[in-house]
Chain A
Amino acid sequence: MHLEPTTAAVVNPSGSGPHQPQPVKRPLRGDVMRFFLAIQCFFRVLFDRRFADGLKKLTQAEPDVSPTESLPRTATTPSPSQRSDAIALLATLQREARFVDLVNESFEQYSDAQVGAATREVLTDCGKVLNRLFALKAVVDIAEGESLEVPSDYDTGRFRLTGDVSGQPPLTGKLMHAGWIATQCELPSWTGSSEAALVVAPAEVQVD
């Protein structure tokens, strides 16, 4: 599998791969959840422009046909709980890389060598997780330090200009940081209880 699509794919907020059919949309638990979601959306649309743009795209999109709807489901199927994507990401980083453990530990009492040894492991594994989930690549495919032209209709989400920005674009400048863009967004989904939806890592008990 080649994780990198040939074009810089737009991040798909619903988490499907470049060649995958639309994933399962999990229904919220009842009207109460929908009500809260609506309230949440109202405020985020008001204060978060990118969220608003995303929502706009979503409302204009084709209706999503869920593949599992055609599969037989038992009447007693509990509807899956919601877990925020942020918790899903944290849980993955903790499970596979011990990231949450590391940042919660005080470095004071350890030597640099000790911190380094643990950090090397954790960060290597964090990198593997991020690469698998997001397939990150540079926004601009040239070496840092080289010069490039920013087009006149540039997207402020893709380019951040500094220095003498008084002229009219297109503008030429030196690439200071190549940026990062996710070419996919494939977070795990959660089917557990809503009570445990905020659990980043379960307590582990070894039974005698």
Chain B
Amino acid sequence: MSAKYLLGIDLGTTNCVLSYVELDAEEPQIEMLKVEQLVAASTLEQRNALPSFLYLAPEHEAVSGALDMPWRQGRQYCVGEYARRQGAEMPERTVVAAKSWLCHSRVDRRQPLLPYGAPAEVDTVSPVTASQRYLEHLAACWNAAFPDAPICDQQVVLTVPASFDAAARELTREAATGVGFPSDLVLLEEPQAALYAWLAARGDAWRKDLTQGDRLLVCDVGGGTTDLTLIDVTEEEGELELRRLAVGEHLLVGGDNMDLTLAHRVAEMFADQGIKLDAWQSISLWHSCRDAKEVLLSADPPESHRVSVLGRGSKVIGGAVSVDVPRHMATDLLLQGFFPDCQLSDKPQRHRASGFQEIGLPFESDVAITRHLAAFLMAHASDTDEAAYPTHVLFNGGVFKADALRSLVLETLGRWSTEDYPVCELPGQRDLDFAVARGAAYYGWTKHQGGMRIRGGAARSYYVGVETAGLAIPGTPRPLRAMCVVPFGMEEGTESDVPSGEIGLVLGEPAHFRFFSSAVRPGDRPGDVLPQIDEEQLAETDSLEAVLDAGDNEQETYVPVRFQSRITELGVFELWCVSTCSDQRWKLEFSIREQSPDEAGA
């Protein structure tokens, strides 16, 4: 059965959104699927977004049928709004931010780790499984709404953060295809999706909004993550083209951090009055502080905003407590904390003093988004400019509903840039919450119809760790060098033979390679060897391995190989070991598991 619809899915850290468009429509009419979900026990409602929360219920709650969905009875978990609400009072039974765990390469993402630190009686799940449950829910909603066009027969574009490395992308794909998504689903980077949504909304006007030589910064600050992307406007045969220049590192800092920071301070104000808030009230305070943030950082803010927390019992007035939050407190905490005035040359502060690092999520030690932004622009300096100065900014993410934050980013960029580069926001209406899903649908539609595309290719360059030859020193691992196997910008549907000396592999044993990626080394070519691994530039991701079967000739115990890298049309990364003395080849797979440093050597 051929596909009738194109589905664009934003699998967000805190919310999932599904949009769709008819593939053969001449003018794309992008619609949002209303996602039916539990909002309370036994209560179903259709909402625009599915909160990315998973609640693992005790058995006595599940047997009552409280978590039944129209398509499934007797389930012992639920996702969506009810799960989000339950999370407030039962964090040990609620999975949050599964997506951030998906790209946390220091843990085995297929092991039941979540909720992190849950007591033994809770049936924990893996980050992959949690993501699957959100996707499965979206698929079931779709199938219920469109019984004649099941999701397995449709075309699907699923968005991932631009900063997701190849392993995290592969896990996302695995999660989706495991729950009935079509195997030819396409992954699209979220900041690009946001830009597609802008293109869809602007129509042909965008060619007037932008000119050759412009440079766009997509500044996407979601609930839990910050994702930066630079896109250049170039001209090809008289036509404007968009080409992605660079993507930023995966930054675990977002709007939720800001709301929590404010909530923490406001809780102290309550404490000063002798009022101690319980867990339920703290969550309610968190939500009130999100509203307070938007009010106090709006274009025309009041001097103060009253934050009230209602009582837990049925006496709402008697139990209510409130404080006035002055505007300067919000600006001090949020603007100076998350968007401090800084120089272009400032670097994010790293705290690596402690030798012991908990295995939990690697939250940013420096929450200053402006400093991360400065480092990002500096990392992509060209020969002529000291940094990659953008001319236009596209904001995405609910955080930027606060006017003050948008103007602050624009002002800061303006101050950094030279006079030749005035910085302005892209014109048109903002769609901060749903742009990614809408843009994904629009991208799929243009791909089908042969319209405008942002050219990108690989967002990072990739490296295999190769041991240096030399005398072994007992107790010391051999120094490791990194050989580039995928250059930055390598396009989909291409492959590359990596020129290198022969690498000897032992047959019948697993070959194991440490694997690295870099978002800041666009100049490296396949075969280039970096003499050492600079942690500032190269991030280690999941290692790669393959078991090399011996083949026909059992005499052979050792085979010389070279690498060949491929990126399929669907954007799937593959690395092959190709024998230099026969036509045998072996595909290396990600080994998504925990490992100690001493077993990770090649």
Cβ-defined partner of A190 (8 Å) among B43, B310, B315, B318: B43
Residues of chain A contacted by B318 (CB below 8 angstroms): 105, 109-110, 114
- Contact between chains at A17 and B314 (CB < 8 Å): no
Residue numbers of B with Cβ under 8 A of A are 31-32, 34, 39-48, 65-66, 68, 70-71, 73, 89, 143-147, 288, 291, 306, 308, 310, 314-318, 320, 322, 434
Whole-angstrom distance between the alpha carbons of A187 and B39 in the complex? 11
Cβ-defined partner of B46 (8 Å) among A71, A91, A186: A186
- Contact between chains at B145 and A101 (CB < 8 Å): no
The 25 sampled A-B contact pairs (Cβ below 8 Å) are A20-B145, A23-B46, A24-B70, A67-B144, A68-B70, A74-B73, A77-B73, A95-B40, A98-B310, A98-B316, A104-B314, A105-B315, A105-B316, A105-B317, A105-B318, A114-B320, A115-B317, A121-B310, A122-B310, A186-B46, A189-B43, A190-B44, A192-B42, A192-B43, A202-B41
In the assembled complex, how far is the CB of residue A131 from the closest CB belonging to chain B, in whole angstroms?
12
- Quick check: is A138 within 8 A (CB to CB) of the other chain? no
- Quick check: is A120 within 8 A (CB to CB) of the other chain? yes
Q: Which 10 A-B pairs have the closest CB atoms?
A: A192-B42, A188-B45, A118-B320, A1-B32, A118-B317, A101-B316, A117-B322, A1-B48, A117-B308, A70-B147
- Contact between chains at A191 and B71 (CB < 8 Å): no
Whole-angstrom distance between the alpha carbons of A3 and B148 in the complex? 26
- Quick check: is A148 within 8 A (CB to CB) of the other chain? no
Whole-angstrom distance between the alpha carbons of A165 and B141 in the complex? 52
In the assembled complex, how far is the CB of residue A206 from the closest CB belonging to chain B, in whole angstroms?
8
Q: Chain A, 77-114, contact with B by CB distance < 8 Å: what is the 0/1 string?
A: 11000000000100110010010011011010110001
Residues of chain B contacted by A104 (CB below 8 angstroms): 314
Q: A95-B39, A110-B317, A192-B65 are known contacts. Are A71 and B147 too (CB-CB below 8 A)?
A: yes
Q: What is the size, in residues, of chain A's interface with B at 8 Å between Cβ atoms?
A: 48
In the assembled complex, how far is the CB of residue B505 from the closest CB belonging to chain A, in whole angstroms?
49
- Contact between chains at A122 and B316 (CB < 8 Å): yes
Whole-angstrom distance between the alpha carbons of A121 and B288 in the complex? 9
Q: Which chain B residue shows the least CB distance to A100?
A: B314
- Quick check: is A8 within 8 A (CB to CB) of the other chain? no
Q: A1-B434, A118-B320, A120-B308 are known contacts. Are A186 and B45 too (CB-CB below 8 A)?
A: yes
- Contact between chains at B306 and A117 (CB < 8 Å): yes
- Contact between chains at A67 and B147 (CB < 8 Å): yes
Residue numbers of A with Cβ under 8 A of B are 1, 17, 19-21, 23-24, 67-68, 70-71, 74, 76-78, 88, 91-92, 95, 98, 101-102, 104-105, 107, 109-110, 114-115, 117-122, 124, 132, 186-193, 196, 202, 206
Cβ-defined partner of B143 (8 Å) among A20, A71, A78, A105: A71
Residues of chain B contacted by A119 (CB below 8 angstroms): 317
Residues of chain B contacted by A202 (CB below 8 angstroms): 41
- Contact between chains at B39 and A102 (CB < 8 Å): no
Whole-angstrom distance between the alpha carbons of A58 and B563 in the complex? 68
Cβ-defined partner of B68 (8 Å) among A118, A121, A188, A191: A191
Residues of chain A contacted by B320 (CB below 8 angstroms): 114, 117-118, 121
- Contact between chains at B317 and A71 (CB < 8 Å): no
Residues of chain B contacted by A102 (CB below 8 angstroms): 316-317
Q: Which chain A residue shows the least CB distance to B140?
A: A71
Residues of chain A contacted by B147 (CB below 8 angstroms): 67-68, 70-71
Q: Which chain B residue shows the least CB distance to A22?
A: B145
In the assembled complex, how far is the CB of residue A149 from the closest CB belonging to chain B, in whole angstroms?
33
In the assembled complex, how far is the CB of residue B442 from the closest CB belonging to chain A, in whole angstroms?
15
Cβ-defined partner of A21 (8 Å) among B145, B316, B322: B145
Residues of chain B contacted by A105 (CB below 8 angstroms): 314-318
Whole-angstrom distance between the alpha carbons of A125 and B448 in the complex? 42
In the assembled complex, how far is the CB of residue B398 from the closest CB belonging to chain A, in whole angstroms?
14
In the assembled complex, how far is the CB of residue B82 from the closest CB belonging to chain A, in whole angstroms?
10
Q: Which chain B residue shows the least CB distance to A26?
A: B70
- Contact between chains at A68 and B316 (CB < 8 Å): no
Whole-angstrom distance between the alpha carbons of A68 and B145 in the complex? 8
- Contact between chains at A191 and B65 (CB < 8 Å): yes
- Contact between chains at A188 and B39 (CB < 8 Å): yes
Q: A1-B434, A101-B315 are known contacts. Are A17 and B40 too (CB-CB below 8 A)?
A: no
Residues of chain B contacted by A68 (CB below 8 angstroms): 70-71, 144, 147
Cβ-defined partner of A192 (8 Å) among B41, B143, B314, B317: B41
Residues of chain B contacted by A98 (CB below 8 angstroms): 310, 316
- Contact between chains at B316 and A190 (CB < 8 Å): no
Residues of chain B contacted by A187 (CB below 8 angstroms): 45
Q: Which chain B residue shows the least CB distance to A65?
A: B147
Residues of chain A contacted by B308 (CB below 8 angstroms): 117-118, 120-121
In the assembled complex, how far is the CB of residue B472 from the closest CB belonging to chain A, in whole angstroms?
60
Q: Which chain B residue shows the least CB distance to A101?
A: B316
- Contact between chains at B310 and A17 (CB < 8 Å): no
Residues of chain A contacted by B34 (CB below 8 angstroms): 17, 20, 186
Whole-angstrom distance between the alpha carbons of A71 and B142 in the complex? 12
Q: Which chain B residue shows the least CB distance to A105?
A: B317
Q: Which chain B residue shows the least CB distance to A81?
A: B42
Residues of chain A contacted by B47 (CB below 8 angstroms): 132
In the assembled complex, how far is the CB of residue A139 from the closest CB belonging to chain B, in whole angstroms?
25
Q: Which of A91, A120, A132, A189 gathers most chain B CB within 10 Å?
A: A189
Residues of chain A contacted by B317 (CB below 8 angstroms): 102, 105, 107, 110, 114-115, 118-119
- Contact between chains at B31 and A19 (CB < 8 Å): yes
Whole-angstrom distance between the alpha carbons of A192 and B291 in the complex? 33
In the assembled complex, how far is the CB of residue A94 from the closest CB belonging to chain B, in whole angstroms?
10
Q: What 20 additional pairs, Cβ within 8 angstroms, besides A20-B46, A118-B320?
A: A1-B434, A17-B46, A20-B34, A20-B145, A67-B144, A68-B70, A68-B71, A68-B144, A71-B147, A74-B73, A91-B43, A95-B39, A105-B317, A121-B320, A188-B43, A188-B45, A190-B44, A191-B43, A191-B70, A193-B42
Residues of chain B contacted by A67 (CB below 8 angstroms): 144-147
Cβ-defined partner of B66 (8 Å) among A19, A24, A192: A192
Residues of chain B contacted by A107 (CB below 8 angstroms): 317
Whole-angstrom distance between the alpha carbons of A132 and B145 in the complex? 20
